[in-house]
Amino acid sequence: MVENELKINPCKSKAVSLTRARAKDPLNYSFGDQKIPEASSFKYLRIIILRDLSWANEVNFTVQKAWKMLHFIMCIFRKENSNVKSLSYISLVRLIVEYGALCWDPYREGQVIALDWLQKKAAKFANHMNEFFWLPLGQFR
């Protein structure tokens, strides 16, 4: 028995080997008599970390989540002025994108295009035909 009575649930645990090696040995971790299942990715503080340390899933997840929030804002604030639209984008959508940008640093062309697409949609919605009114998403790296 542990002094602080901390209980660990091995069913909620995952074993992930972080490597870029092509051949890898299977992980055989167990806690007591329960085997901890192997996984190819896991979430830590809402950031998706893959076995090969690529960020493709994290960028796709972030763009999808930000697009859902932008679409919600577009429905709710359709008839508002551009200042309200701009403020809602910056405070709700951009917050989602900036959260993980410091660690995953989108450098691949497809990832940058997806993030720029999101910003262009928001700029068009907020009646800022020139999206340079806002700082580019690439500056948050």
Structure-token pair, residue 51: 């076995």
Structure-token pair, residue 21: 């090696």
Q: pLDDT tens digits for 102-134?
A: 666 666 778 878 888 888 888 888 876 555 556
pLDDT at 139: 58
Q: pLDDT tens digits for 26-53?
A: 778 888 888 888 888 888 887 888 888 8
Neighbouring-strand partners of residue 42: 49
Q: Can you point out the beta strands (E) in 36-109?
A: 41-44, 47-50
Give pTM, 2 decimals.
0.70
Q: pLDDT tens digits for 51-71?
A: 888 888 888 888 899 999 999
pLDDT at 130: 54
